[in-house]
Each structure stands twice: as C-alpha cells, then as structure tokens.
Amino acid sequence: MNSMLSPYLPNTDADRRAMLREIGATSVDELFQDVPEKCRHTQFSLPAPLSELELREELRHLAESNTNLEDYACFLGAGSYRHFIPSVVDHIIGRSEFYTAYTPYQAEVSQGTLQSIYEYQSLVCQLTGMEVSNAGMYDGSTAAAEAAVMACIISKRDKVAVLNTVNPIYREVIGTYVEGRDLAVETIGPDASLSADYACLIVQQPNFFGCLEKIEMYVQKVRDVGALFISIFDPISLGMFRPPGDYGADIAVAEGQPLGIPLCFGGPYLGVFACRKEYVRYMPGRLVGKTVDVEGRPGYVMTMVTREQYIRREKAISNICTSEALMALAAGVYLAAVGKRGLRRVAELCYHKAHYAARAISKLKGYSLVFERPFFKEFVINCPLAPSKINEVLLHERIIGGLDISHMIDNGMLLCVTEVNTKEEIDRLVEILAAS
C-alpha cells in the first residue's frame, strides 16, 4: 500500500522520488537549502488547545472588544454604507448551489446560476437606464478604473480626466490601473475645459462630499470634444434621481455594496458596470445571455468572454478574471425584494433623514454646513474643533461618527445618514455635538 504524508497532499513515496529525480534534487530538504537553518524549524509559543465549546467562548469574548453596528449608531459613509438588508438576501445566497464567487462556464450544469446573473444584469439595466450590464466587477473603484481604460481603447486617446470631487480612493485606483499602459490621468476642477486628446471625463453623482453635481454641464463638455462620459453613481440614489442613461452617460459604474451587501470589513464588494450597446465588445468581464436550446426551451449561456486575458492575452481588454457572481446575486435578490417602490422609499428615507440631521447640526454653535448645495444622504460639516477629537467623544457614547476629512477641508467631517438611522440616534448625535 502506498504511504502518504497527508491526505490533502496525496503523493506517494514513489511520486516524490520521481519528482525529485526530474528536477535533479536528491531530497526534499535540498529544496529548502537556501532558507537559513534557524528559520526552518521555528518554534511557536502557542497556548494549549481548546475544545470547540471553549474556543467559541474565547472568540465571542474577543469579538466583544470590537465596535459593531449592532450596538453602535453609525454615521460613517464615504463609499461603504449601512443599509437594511432583507433576510431573504442571506437566505438565497447561502444556499449551496449558489455559494461561490465564480462564474459558471458549463451551461449544461449551471442554468440556475447563469439565470440569476442574467436577471442581475437585467435589473442593473433597468436601474441605470443603460443598455448593457456585465456580471459584476471587483468593486466600485476597480469598475471605475476599468471604465477609464475602456474609454481609452474606444476613443484611441490616452488621457483620462477625473473631476476633483470624485472619491479620492477611486482616483488612486484609477491612477494605479493605468500604470504601464502609457495612459495619463488628470484631476480637474469643475471649471476646467477639456481638449480633444481626452478619452473621457469621470464624474461622481452624488459626489464624494454628498453633493449633487450639475451633470448636464459636464456631459456637454464631453460632447464638445468627442470624448466619453463616465458616471459613478450611488445605486440607492436612483430610487429618487435621474439614472445615468437619462443624462447621456456612455459608461456607468457603481459600488454595489449598498444593494444587500454588509460592510464586511471592506469586502467582498461588487462593481456595477453598464454601458451603451455599441460599446459592448469593449466591455470588461463576463456577460450572460439568454437563448434557446435545440428543442426551443429557454436557456442561459456565457455570451461574451473572449475579451479577457486568458483567451487573447496580447489583445486583452481587461485582466479581470473573477466575477463577483455571489455578490451580484445578493444585489439581484435585494432589488427584486425591495422593488421599484421600495427602492424609492429607501432613497426618500435617506434623503429626508440626512436633511433633518444637517439642519439640526447646522444650528449648533460652532458648526456649519460646508456646501450650500443639494445633497442626497451625505454632507460635510465644519466643526469647532478637530473631528478626530469629536469622534473620540462620540465613540465613547456608542456612536460611530463621520469621516475626518480635515486634510481636504479645515475641521471638515463627512457625515452619512441612511434609512437605518432612527430619529432618536440623530437627536442623540446632535445632543453630543452640542456638548462637545
């Protein structure tokens, strides 16, 4: 009987001898000879093993040291948001037949998953007013970066303009993506003009500071120079405001986390990506389509995958190889569960609660709204002292405060209010700010 060192590494002694002989080594130890001897057999000082019951109690105790959204009110946003998630979302995505992030290539055994992705794509098109959606990117920032590269390929131009009110993390990711592609990214102000060598202009709506942009002005700037317009949108805001397809976006991207995905320490998230039909063959990622089989029955297949690096490496549109299919399913279930009216209700609650909070805070001595412009669910306040100190006080009162953006605006704090924030939480926030 062949011996094995581990059931998870099922190589027999004969297998190991054959592999060593093939690479010209006499022993496994010889493979590690470049590793210093003192580093090969490190002794770890670990506590004694625990039973499952004891370990669960130990982990629970450790978890209690974390600040959590069950016991704390939260007014932090800036790209990741706390929204209510219907229980049906976790119920569906937790089913074993769906519980994978990978896109299924074998249509004959993956009809259910392919159908769910197709329905997600259809919902995104309805939500955004765009013609085509893919099966999901890694997250909002990489979706924006992929959109910028796509615009350069379409236009055969090498400069990308990003409005300075776009999330700074998104701007960093876009800059990283274009490295090595001989493309340039420039951050511009709202009054800057575009020249004919720009491939696109990227605008966030609402912007990083929560304000609504005068979007038509930017669309016109783009049209004047024959470039593409890329919109980064908040999917919840589309319950109230015009979708990208209505104001002429060529490519629309978003962070899909607000659509039924918890904060999860920053991931996994979902990059929503949609575009006009004429650009579909330049779109990164996968696209699931609906067809019929030889007997006329409806079926779902991977319609487009040929643009990716594993198929035509030298002509790759994108290096994205893994779709966020599980997160896309969560977003699809969320949109189906809340429906058109439900999404509008969520958006309205965010809007009205945020404005209630902003009015109350702006009346406090030493506090003021930085931007006197229309906003959705986020707004910037100018504080009488450092936001970091205010956040320390709030945290002591079991409130997670806003994002300290003092490096961008003197004593500026970006606050976010969503439908899950109660009036009592908002009033308590105002009360503590007044006493700070």
Q: Helices in 24-167 by DSSP H: which ranges?
A: 28-31, 37-40, 52-63, 87-93, 111-128, 140-155
Residues listed for the chain:
436
Strand-pair category, 73-74 with 399-400: parallel
The end-to-end CA distance of the chain, in Å, is 75
Report the pLDDT averaged over residues 420-432. Answer: 98
Q: How many CB atoms lie within 10 A of CB 190?
A: 14
pTM of the model: 0.88
What one-character DSSP code corresponds to residue 211? B
Q: Is 227 helix (H, G, I), strand (E, B) or coil?
A: coil
At residue 323, the pLDDT reads: 73
What does the pLDDT read at residue 168? 98
pLDDT digits (tens, 9 = 90+) for 250-270: 999 999 999 999 998 888 999
Q: Can you read off the two tokens belonging to residue 5? A: 């060192």
Mean pLDDT on 153-166: 97
Q: What is the pLDDT of residue 1?
A: 41
What percent of the chain is modeled with pLDDT above 90? Answer: 76
386 is written with which tokens? 């450092």
pLDDT on residue 103: 61
pLDDT at 302: 86
Distance from C-alpha of 90 to C-alpha of 427, rounded to nearest angstrom? 32
CA 149 – CA 178 distance, rounded (Å): 7
pLDDT of residue 2: 47
For the chain, domains (ranges, CATH) are 73-85+340-435 (3.90.1150.10), 87-334 (3.40.640.10)
Task: Give me the pLDDT at residue 179, please.
Answer: 86
- pLDDT per position as a tens digit, 45-61: 898 999 999 999 999 99
- pLDDT tens for 90-140 read 999 999 888 765 666 677 778 888 999 999 999 999 999 999 999 889 999
Q: Which residues pair with 36 in a beta bridge?
A: none
The CA-atom distances, in angstroms, between 320 and each of 252, 261, 274 are 18, 21, 16
Interval 400-404 mean pLDDT: 98
In the prediction, which pLDDT does 96 show? 85
What's the rounded Cα separation, in Å, for the pair 359 and 347? 18
- Cβ(237)–Cβ(347) under 8 Å? yes
pLDDT in tens, 291-350: 998 899 999 988 887 555 556 666 777 777 677 889 999 999 999 999 999 999 999 999
Sheet holding 403-404, edge to edge: 368-369, 378-382, 412-416, 403-404
Q: Report the pLDDT value the prediction gives residue 423, as an integer from 0 to 100.
A: 98
Higher model confidence: residue 172 or residue 267?
172
Torsion of CA 127, 252, 203, 137, to 10 degrees: 110
Instruction: Please tell me the least confidently modeled range out of 7-21, 174-188, 308-322, 335-349.
Output: 308-322
Q: What would the pLDDT profile of 62-73 be if each residue is shown by its tens digit?
A: 998 889 898 999
C-alpha closest to that of 200 among 211, 208, 212, 188: 188
Separation in Å, CA 315 to CA 135, 306, 308, 394, 430: 21, 10, 8, 52, 56
Q: How many CB atoms lie within 10 A of CB 227?
A: 25
Mean pLDDT of the chain, nearest integer: 92
Those residues whose C-beta lies under 8 Å from the C-beta of residue 377, and which sit 6 or more positions away, are: 77, 81, 206, 210, 234, 236, 237, 350, 351, 353, 354, 416, 417, 418
Residue 4 has pLDDT above 60, yes or no: no
Checking if the pLDDT of 38 tops 90, the result is no
Q: What percent of the chain has pLDDT over 70?
A: 94
Q: Tokens 């995905």 appear where?
A: 261
pLDDT interval class at 172 (50, 70, 90):
very high
User: Using an 8 Å Cβ cutoff, are 139 and 269 in contact?
Assistant: yes
Which residue, among 364, 102, 345, 77, has the nearest Cα to 234 in the 3D structure? 77
